[in-house]
Structure 1
Amino acid sequence: MAVGAAPAGLDATVDGIPTDATTAAELFAVVDLLDGQPMLRRSLSDPSASVEDRSGLATRLLGGRVSAATLAVLTEAVKASWNSGADMVAGLERQAVRLSLLDAQRTGDIDRVSDELHTLGLTIDSNPELAGTLRNQTYPVDAKQELIDRLIADKVHPVTRALAARTVRTRRRNYARTVGEILEMAADLAGEKIAKVTVARPLDEARLARLRRALEAQAGGPVALQVEVDPSVLGGINVALGDDVFEATVAARLDQVRRQLITS
């Protein structure tokens, strides 16, 4: 799943369409349909065809088969200018991801979904066998999705479960990078900046709250914490907030001393 960028104005246009919880699921189904129909996706993104022709084709294809909201999103997408049919399909999937996250935001669950996706990404990264299986281009998509579903089962929010299943499509990039892009989109929708925090030991709620307040003062606005526990940092904390990196770990200080000894 390549989240990527949308043509200018498409996000705002789609956000103006009255969607509901089923719209994202239907868009994902449309993406799967177009994935298997190269001629159709080329026709829907053909720059030599008029906007009316492309939107008319979309209506003839799916009118009456999907909800009015889904059809409206599709027709707005085919009206946009794309470099290729594959880019258009990726753009449609991006809208499905955004609508999934917006649905979680409407119900007040976007922070939970972000936390669950982040935790799932860390779990996969820490399991080389599982990560290797998800990267294996010859391993069936359905089998990959079953692996993820068994891992999370009914323990997570439905939006988390749906997005986790989408991230293992074989035509996509690695799982961790895709999850990272989804988390960036979630933070953007919530008006937050992401702070990637690495610590040697888990932080309790009080320390997390103090850290969040300090980082929000630094960032000048809301901050979403993504915490990773890594014993190799040997105490202290490492924080990446945008282009700024704040490091106060024993490992970092030892490395600094080592470099000074080498250069002295």
Structure 2
Amino acid sequence: MATNAHKPPIDLHGLHARYANATYVAASKGNMLETVENELAGIKLTATNSTAFKNFLENPLISRDDKEKTVSDMFSGKVSNVTMNLMMTLAGNAKLAEAPKIADTYSQLMKAKRGEVEATIISADPLTKAQVTAVEAAMKNQVGSGKSVILTTEVDPSILGGLQVQIGDQFLDLSVGSKIDSISRTTV
């Protein structure tokens, strides 16, 4: 069982979380959290950009033994033992297709460890630098001290005006479009 020193910083559940949590604990014990994060990000990127690699991960017709041998040949000496163990376990359990999602979940754990909070701002028009700075400042007050906001902005003209804000699993709709919808529902 993981000691508190190596315990993942947030509780995530489900298939991807089980593998990501175990990988996090092993990487923490080996003092290689960032190394494993970079390696998993590279595997995800390769799966996204290489059709051949993606097909290999997802092909159920390749036997587990063949997948294990290919993973061993492909990664041996190129990744840390933690990442190698994860990939070999996924190959042995016929779960290689889940590697990109496990990488995302591991990244989520690392962002929580660093105190990073992801936020997305959706506006009808592109925000100016001054507006982005003002929104970042307001969000820093919301997420608390010791945490940093990783802000992404998106443009969606259909909201007409105002903002939609997504911070973690919280969603705030301050758009003109939603106000018009609520007024039209109450007047009908």
What TM-score results when the alignment is normalised by the length of structure 2? Answer: 0.54
Corresponding residue pairs, total: 141
2:47 is paired with a residue whose SS is: helix
Say whether the 8 Å CA contact 1:55–1:75 is kept in structure 2. Answer: yes
2:172 is paired with a residue whose SS is: strand
2:18 alignment partner AA: A
Alignment of 1:85-234 (within 5 A): 88=97, 91-107=98-114, 109=115, 113-114=116-117, 117-118=118-119, 121-122=120-121, 125-126=122-123, 128=125, 160=150, 183=168, 194-198=169-173, 229-230=174-175
2:70 is paired with a residue whose SS is: helix
> What's the CA shift for 1:71?
1.8
The alpha-carbon distance between structure 1 residues 129 and 75, as it changes in their structure 2 partners (threshold 3 A), is farther
Give yes or no for the alignment of 1:58 onto 2:65: no
Which residue of the other structure, out of 62, 86, 105, is the alignment partner of 1:73? 86
Match of 1:210 in 2: none
TM-align CA RMSD = 4.0
> What's the CA shift for 1:60?
0.8
> What's the CA shift for 1:25?
1.7
2:67 alignment partner AA: R
Give yes or no for the alignment of 1:12 onto 2:12: no
Task: Report the Cα distance in structure 2 between the residues aligned to 1:36 and 1:73, rounded to whole angstroms.
Answer: 21
Task: Report the Cα distance in structure 2 between the residues aligned to 1:32 and 1:16, rounded to whole angstroms.
Answer: 22
The alpha-carbon distance between structure 1 residues 233 and 129, as it changes in their structure 2 partners (threshold 3 A), is closer
The alpha-carbon distance between structure 1 residues 46 and 28, as it changes in their structure 2 partners (threshold 3 A), is same
Say whether the 8 Å CA contact 1:44–1:58 is kept in structure 2. Answer: no
Aligned-residue sequence identity (percent) comes to 13
> What's the CA shift for 1:54?
0.6
Say whether the 8 Å CA contact 1:26–1:66 is kept in structure 2. Answer: yes
Say whether the 8 Å CA contact 2:20–2:105 is kept in structure 1. Answer: no
Say whether the 8 Å CA contact 1:26–1:70 is kept in structure 2. Answer: yes
> What's the CA shift for 1:58?
0.8
Task: Report the Cα distance in structure 1 between the residues aligned to 2:47 and 2:61, rounded to whole angstroms.
Answer: 19
Task: Report the Cα distance in structure 2 between the residues aligned to 1:22 and 1:255, rounded to whole angstroms.
Answer: 53
Task: Report the Cα distance in structure 2 between the residues aligned to 1:104 and 1:42, rounded to whole angstroms.
Answer: 29
Say whether the 8 Å CA contact 2:47–2:54 is kept in structure 1. Answer: yes
Match of 1:242 in 2: none
| Gaps in structure 1 of 5+ consecutive residues | 1-7, 131-150, 165-179, 184-193, 199-228, 235-249, 260-264
Match of 2:144 in 1: none
Task: Report the Cα distance in structure 1 between the residues aligned to 2:49 and 2:184, rounded to whole angstroms.
Answer: 51
Task: Report the Cα distance in structure 1 between the residues aligned to 2:83 and 2:20, rounded to whole angstroms.
Answer: 10
> What's the CA shift for 1:81?
4.2
What TM-score results when the alignment is normalised by the length of structure 1? Answer: 0.41
Task: Report the Cα distance in structure 2 between the residues aligned to 1:126 and 1:51, rounded to whole angstroms.
Answer: 47
